Structure formats: C-alpha cells, structure tokens
Structure 1
Amino acid sequence: MDALLFAFVAAALAGIGDQTQVLAGSLSARGDRPGAILAGMAIAAAGMAAIAFIAASFVSDMVGVRAQTQFVALALAFAGITGLMKPEPLRWAERVRWGGFLGALLFGGYAAASGRIQFMSLAFAIRAEMPVFAAVGGALGLLAAAIPAALLGDKFLALNLRPARIAIGVVLLVAGALVFLNAPPPAV
C-alpha cells in the first residue's frame, strides 16, 4: 500500500501545471462537461496504469534492487527538471474539435503516456513489491490533478501555476537526490 500512496502523491504533485491538467482546463473552458472530461481522463489514466504495470512486471525481475531504486531517483529527478520548465502546450489538440470525453481520452492519454507521470508510475511500479498498486497510484494522482482543472475551466487557466511548478520541481529534485543517495549498496 505504500507504493500506492507514494505514486499517488508524486503523480498528483507532478500533475500540477502538467499538460494533462492544462488539457482538462482547456476542454472545460471550451464548454465541455467536466464529468465527460474526467471520464475520458480516467480511461486514459487506466490505460497508462495498465502499461506501467505490464512493463514493470517484465522488467522488475531483470534488475536488482539498487538499479530499481536508482530508476526511481532518475524518474523523480526527471519530473523535477521538467517541472521547472514551462509545459509544452498541446497546440495541435486545440485545433481538433473533439467532444470533452473523446478529447480527454485521446489527447489526455497521449499527454499522460508521454510525460513525467507515466515515467514515475513505471519507476514506482518496477520498485514496488506489488506493481499494480504503484501503477494505480500514479493514475489516481493524474486524475487528482485533473479534477480542479476540469471543474474550474477558464478560471483554472487564468491561474499562475509557475511558482507552484517551480516549488514542486525543486521538491521532486531533492526527493530524487535523497532516493539516489539512499540506494542500497552494490551487491558484491
């Protein structure tokens, strides 16, 4: 259950100002229903969790605990670094007129699968004793970040998330460094 909590918190924090959150806010600002947006995001997040779980099931037995821990550190550091940068807007997604559900499903799935949340979910799933909990935690964290954006729409898009992204980026970088420094020693 620790894997679920760690993955949830890390994904929810990394999701603040992320492409998936901005997409949910954009679809909602366009007039799409928040329920439809969140349903599409939920299915996309479930697909993301399934991919992380399946990949982790194959990889976790191939690498040792030290490498697994270092992979988690790398994923946290990557999330921290990308959090310090301005997120790349999904300009092409804005040109296509999909409904809230289908737009969130397709473009939310693309944004989630190609971003830092998926990378962290995979890393936590590889390291966890029960990879399914880490994968589900990452998906739930993604949804937790998308909920306020879908409910607030244009009011959410008007918020300045830069200070929050920078603070969270620093926290994730520090967490990555601490995980790396506390990795088990190499096997002799």
Structure 2
Amino acid sequence: MDIIFNSFIFVALTEMGDKTQLLAFVLASRFRKPWTIFFGIFIATILNHLLAAWAGRFVSDLIPYVYLKWILALTFIAFAIWVMIPDKDEGLNEKRKWGAFLTTVVTFFLAEMGDKTQLATVALAAKYNDLGLVTVGSTLGMMVTSGLAVFFGDKMTKKIPMKWVHALAAVFYVIFAIAIIVKG
C-alpha cells in the first residue's frame, strides 16, 4: 500500500500545473465532452506509466542498489528544483481532426513522454522495483489531477495558487530523497 500511496502523492503533486494538466483543461474546454476526455487520458496514462514503470524496473535490475540509491536521491532533488519551474501551454491549442477520444489519447500520451510525471514514475519504479503497484499509484495520481482539470479546471485555478502546490511538491521530493539516503 505504501508503494501505491507514495506513487500517487508524488505524481499528483508533480502534475499540478504541469503541461499535461493544462492539456487536459484545453481538451475539455475545446471538445466539451469531459467523460470522453477523461477516459482518453486514462488510456494514455496507463500506457505511458506502464512503459515508464517498466523502464524503472529495468534500471533497478541493472544498477546495484548501493549506487542506485544515490542516483535516485539526486534525481528526486532534481525533481524538487524542476517542479518549481511551471510549465507553459505551448502548442496545446493546435487543431486535431480525430475527435475527442483519439485526440486525447494521442496528444496526452505524446505530451507525457519525458515529462516530470513520467520520469517520476521511472524513478519510483526503480526505487520500489514493482511495475504494477507503481503504475497503479502513478495512474491514480494522474487521474485525480487530470480529473480536476477536466471537470473543475476553471474554478480551481482561481482558488489555489500553483506556486504553493509546486512548493509542496518540491518539499515532498526533498523528503523522499533524504529518506532514500537514510534508509539505505
């Protein structure tokens, strides 16, 4: 349960204000089919995070833990810094001809490639060496934040300053990095 919870928390906090959350908001605004968009995000996220978790597990099998723990700690500290740099809505308004569902699956999957949340999933899977539980937790984290954007995005952005969400995520990443080093 710890693996699912930690994966959920880190991905959810990292995703707040991320470009894919902005993409979810843009797609929901453009197509006005929130459940279709939400399901498309779900499919894209499962595929993307399963791939990321597999990569993390592969890395954990390849690198001895004595070295991996330091690599992971430094990675999480880098995430703490990176999460403080908010993403912008770059090119998310371009036209698509495929309809709401397919547009969502394709654009969301591609937008997640190399994204903070995908790389966090790789690192979490490397730490825990559990493909399934990390994928479940990271997917749940992504779905909560994407669901907020799809169903309540316009209301939420007026009430919660993203700089506070990013700061909270950065603190969690630093705590996680310290825990990796201390627990050994």
Task: Report if aligned partners of 1:71, 1:123 keep a CA contact under 8 Å in 2.
Answer: no
* Distance in 2 separating the partners of 1:77 and 1:26: 30
Q: Cα 1:85–1:51, aligned 2, differ >3 Å: closer, same or farther?
A: same
Match runs of 1:3-42 below 5 Å: 3-42=3-42
Report matched runs for 1:93-172 at 5 Å.
Answer: 93-98=92-97, 99-156=99-156, 158=158, 161-172=161-172
Deviation at 1:81, TM superposition (A): 1.6
CA distance in 1, matches of 2:180, 2:53: 23
SS for the counterpart of 1:86 is coil
Q: CA deviation at 1:73?
A: 2.2
- Any idea what SS the aligned residue of 1:85 has? coil
Aligned to 1:84: 84
Unaligned runs of at least 5 residues, structure 1: none
Q: CA deviation at 1:169?
A: 4.0
The structural deviation recorded for 1:160 is: 5.6
**Secondary structure in structure 1 of the residue aligned to 2:83:** helix
Structure 1 residue 149: Cα displacement? 0.5
Whole-angstrom CA distance in 1 between matches of 2:116 and 2:85:
12
The alignment's C-alpha RMSD in Å is: 2.3
TM-score (normalised: structure 1) = 0.84
Task: Kindly provide the CA deviation profile for residues 80-108 of structure 1, in whole angstroms up to 9, marking residues without a partner as x.
Answer: 222211213232x3122353322321221
Show the counterpart of 1:72: 72
2:54 aligns with: 54
- The 8 Å contact of residues 69 and 181 in structure 2, kept in 1 or not, is answered as no
Q: How many residues align?
A: 183
Structure 1 residues 177 and 46, CA gap change in structure 2 (3 angstroms): closer
**CA 1:177–1:12 in 2, change beyond 3 Å: closer, same or farther?**
same
Counterpart contact for 2:13–2:166, Cα < 8 Å:
no
Q: Report the Cα distance in structure 1 between the residues aligned to 2:37 and 2:54, rounded to whole angstroms.
A: 26
Tell me which amino acid in the other structure corresponds to 2:120: M
Percent identity, aligned pairs only, is 26
Residue of structure 2 equivalent to 1:182? 182
Alignment partners' CA distance in 1, 2:48 and 2:84: 24
